[in-house]
Amino acid sequence: MKINKIAMIGAGSWGTALALLLARKGCPVALWDRDTDHIEQLRRERENKRYQPGHNFPEVLEVTGNLADAVKGAECVVMVVPSHGYREVYRQIIPFLQEGVLVVSAVKGIEIDSGMTMTGIMQAENPDQKTIHLGVLSGPSFAAEVAGGQPTAVTVAFADPQAAETVQHLFSTDYFRVYSSSDVIGLEISAAMKNVIAIAAGICDGLNYGLNTRAALITRGLAEITRMGVALGGEPQTFAGLGGLGDLVLTCTGNLSRNRTVGLKLGSGLTLEQALSEMKMVAEGVKTTQSCYKLAAKLKVEMPILEQVYQVLYQNKRCEDAVSELFQRDLRQEVEASAG
């Protein structure tokens, strides 16, 4: 399929970085956002000074506040809006989607009420059963580094191999390498859950625990992510790849991680409200902790790190007590299907 127009739905840090990536290749991109003041600033200054300062917009990058104008005629639509507003925005664009369109979710979260991933939401919100190819793009990729042209590797997954290959070639550049996969659910669960584990990693760093603690947390966090993903039909090897282990390591260790930053603030003694008040951008892991906690209970999947993060965020549990409880759990074998 030839891609003549891409609609980028969401002009935050990640949406802008991906729009810049594509526009620098010469691909026509329509960048949309619901914030009219933000859109006017982007249109006037041809730069996203709020989220990605220092990167001028190429001529082929169009800025619009009209959702219909952004989506009409686009062969590829990239969704980069927060997970809690995803369903609402997607409902609005459905009438303007053309048959056979490729819709890529670049959002890392799970809807709280339904427990659905973003592709699950899109499948449920397709009343006319249009032919829409749904996929996800994820991997270890801080937006600022992508916008700055730093070498980065990610994965794109679609059930349809041809759709995956089309999007793979669309996004690939000499500094942005894209691998393909058919495991959509595995990639989505990895993307969502790694933010929860990153909050836990930040808490440990905020408590001044060492590198041993962080390594243990990442490893056991990966075990929890894998258990949930496999329970939902994901392929085990996905969780050892870029969208699984790769993204988890980056988010748990990188100073640009918003979710790790929330954890750092909590570990240093701030309340959740205080921590979030100091944040300029959305930390998806805070809401994802709620949705994953509910989903784990529904699936009857044991996820002790997730449980402790939930109690810290929503039940005012002391961070020190949460870590202590994890280490006082019953001893067991490491490699066991039900182990935690």
CA distance 77 to 97: 9
Which helix H or strand E contains 25, and what residues bound it?
none
Query: Is residue 5 annotated as a catalytic residue, yes or no?
Result: no
CA dihedral (179, 170, 99, 80) positive or negative: positive
For residue 305, give the nearest of 191, 190, 198 by alpha carbon: 198
Q: What is the DSSP letter of 237?
A: G
CA distance 313 to 112: 15
Contact predicate 53/88, CB 8 Å: no
CA distance 126 to 97: 10
Look at residue 156 and give its three-state secondary structure. Answer: strand
For residue 138, give the nearest of 290, 14, 323, 1 by alpha carbon: 14
Output phi, psi for 63, to 5 deg: -110, 130
Which helix H or strand E contains 218, and what residues bound it?
helix 211-231
Set 5, 108, 194, 265: catalytic member: 194
- Neighbouring residues of 42: CB distance < 8 A, sequence distance ≥ 6: 11, 31, 33, 48, 57, 63
Residues involved in catalysis? 194
